[in-house]
Amino acid sequence: MSTFTADAFALLANGTSLPWAEIPEWPAAEFVRVTAGELERGGRLCAWFGVPEGAATRLVAVLAFDAGNTLAVGRSEPVTGSYPSLTALCPQAHLFEREVFEQHGLVPEGHPWLKPVRKGAGDAPANGEFFRVEGREVHEVAVGPVHAGIIEPGHFRFQCAGEEVLHLEIALGYQHRGIEAALAGGPHRRTMSQMEVVAGDSTIAHSTAYASICEGLSGVEVPLRTQWLRALALELERLANHTGDIGALAGDVAFLPTSSACGKIRGDFLNLTALLCGNRFGRGWVRPGGHPLDLDAARSATLLKRLHGALADVGQAADWFWEAASVRARFEGVGTVSARQAGELGLVGLAARACGLVRDVRFDHPAGWYRFAQAPVAVWPSGDVYARARVRWLEIQRSGQFLDEQLGLPPDDEPATALGGAQGDALCVSLVEGWRGEVCHVALTDGAGRFRRYKIVDPSFHNWMGLAMALRGQAVSDFPICNKSFNLSYCGFDL
């Protein structure tokens, strides 16, 4: 398989671009085989999408070699009709191929479960037929898309034998807003705002990915202080969301002390973000090319003081949580995903790290400030709800420590270089480790430097299948804690 490496794919680093013409091109069938070979060799599929070319479509694959700290891009010759499925060789491509099928009408021959991903049919997505288990003892439970809480819409179809789940199929797309289509021809004046709402709880991750795409395309390195500020914001986002999730997990097992405390502490972390940019979710913090808002010494001191307070509080709430035997009993051995499954499905972020995989963009593909300062990768081996909660707690501690150290080492403010025009006919890839996992943005420009194709892959896109697998053989009553332990985004998936 290693025979392909030299020229099968063009290599590049996170946040950099390369000319479209320099990307090796393969006939479709060959391209699928080559991609499968690279994936087997230790690559990971970050993105797989189509680029329309006349009536035909080119397939593009972005792979990450985590151990080698490199990204690789390859493309196929224009195809129409069908091509042999990559999913048949590598399961992690299954959703990507369904998406290409939906967006470009290319049929991957041999795909085991080909149906739309999020395409609308009237008021609701076209879900197609659900997988059904037959049998006198089997019953079907349909949950959603309207849920009994203020959460996003999604449909869950369980095939159960009594309390045991035999199969879970997840149908999403209820929040499809057509973001990728809206980005084509950009950047527009509203592009930045659209990026901030791809997934509202990952505002910083998505806006940072977009900003580095813009910078990568115009070949500009932003001032260190900008990079520093973005890292601070990203870690604050992680702290707020992880804290909220631990509280939500406690709430789902009716453990009141932690549940009540974490709701409040999450607000404290969100308010730290608001301290700089006036918005609790970090809207307005990240802009391509520099930092419109700066953290002055006085506010930095306030931030640090309030950070210490909130970290002490969350430590107390977490102690109650970990010391309660009744909580541990609910989490251990529930919703287990093995490391092998996680690898095959291409899980990313904390869901992958909770299966023992060392997979963290900040460590594997460092860009921006993470080239100079890193938080240790938090890994827990057991793959169950307990592991996902535990990784969250480890990351809260490490992000807290990271912020504590970095707030004391502010780089000097230097003038930003103005962003020039984006390079024409180029492809740029940017990965950011959001609190859920790897946020991947890929931009392809036309001759004038406008976006010809802009692909967004939210970590949820990789991870929803992990949730479905975690439920196999579990009690249906454990679905809420499994779901909360992943806490995936619906809107980030639906785009």
Residues that bind other proteins (CB under 8 A): 139-143, 147-149, 162-163, 250, 252-257, 259-261, 324, 326-327, 329-330, 334, 475-480
- Specify the amino acid at residue 198: V
For residue 358, count other CB atoms closer than 10 A to its CB: 13
Name residues whose C-beta falls within 8 Å of residue 350's C-beta, 6 or more positions apart in sequence. 378, 388, 391, 392, 395, 435, 436, 437
Cβ nearer to other proteins, comparing 142 with 293? 142
Cβ nearer to other proteins, comparing 124 with 142? 142
Cβ nearer to other proteins, comparing 71 with 171? 171
Cβ nearer to other proteins, comparing 20 with 156? 156
Dist CA 224 CA 326 (whole Å): 47
> What minimum distance in Å lies between the beta carbon of 398 and other proteins?
26
Dist CA 246 CA 235 (whole Å): 16
For the chain, give percent helix, strand, coil, nearest 5: 45, 20, 35
> What minimum distance in Å lies between the beta carbon of 407 and other proteins?
29
> What minimum distance in Å lies between the beta carbon of 250 and other proteins?
8
User: Would strands 10-12 and 44-53 be described as parallel, antiparallel, or unpaired?
Assistant: unpaired
DSSP letter at 434? -
Cβ nearer to other proteins, comparing 144 with 186? 144
Cβ nearer to other proteins, comparing 29 with 142? 142
For residue 243, count other CB atoms closer than 10 A to its CB: 29
> What minimum distance in Å lies between the beta carbon of 159 and other proteins?
11
Cβ nearer to other proteins, comparing 299 with 328? 328
Contact assessment for residue 379 and residue 397, using Cβ atoms and an 8 Å cutoff: no
Q: Which residues does residue 25 pair with via DSSP β-bridges, in sequence order? A: 75
> What minimum distance in Å lies between the beta carbon of 168 and other proteins?
11
> What minimum distance in Å lies between the beta carbon of 334 and other proteins?
7
User: Would strands 164-171 and 10-12 be described as parallel, antiparallel, or unpaired?
Assistant: unpaired
For residue 131, count other CB atoms closer than 10 A to its CB: 12
Closest CA to 51 of 19, 20, 24: 20
User: Would strands 70-76 and 56-65 be described as parallel, antiparallel, or unpaired?
Assistant: antiparallel
Cβ nearer to other proteins, comparing 44 with 484? 484
Name residues whose C-beta falls within 8 Å of residue 176's C-beta, 6 or more positions apart in sequence. 118, 119, 120, 125, 494, 495
Cβ nearer to other proteins, comparing 107 with 133? 133
> What minimum distance in Å lies between the beta carbon of 255 and other proteins?
4
Coil, helix or strand for 321? helix
Extract the tokens encoding 429: 């890839």
The packing angle between helices 385-407 and 297-323, to 10°, is 160
> What minimum distance in Å lies between the beta carbon of 397 and other proteins?
22
> What minimum distance in Å lies between the beta carbon of 327 and other proteins?
5
Closest CA to 382 of 346, 353, 343, 360: 353
Cβ nearer to other proteins, comparing 152 with 215? 152
Cβ nearer to other proteins, comparing 147 with 340? 147
Dist CA 464 CA 152 (whole Å): 14
Dist CA 232 CA 155 (whole Å): 35
> What minimum distance in Å lies between the beta carbon of 383 and other proteins?
18
For residue 254, count other CB atoms closer than 10 A to its CB: 10
> What minimum distance in Å lies between the beta carbon of 42 and other proteins?
38
User: Would strands 70-76 and 25-26 be described as parallel, antiparallel, or unpaired?
Assistant: parallel
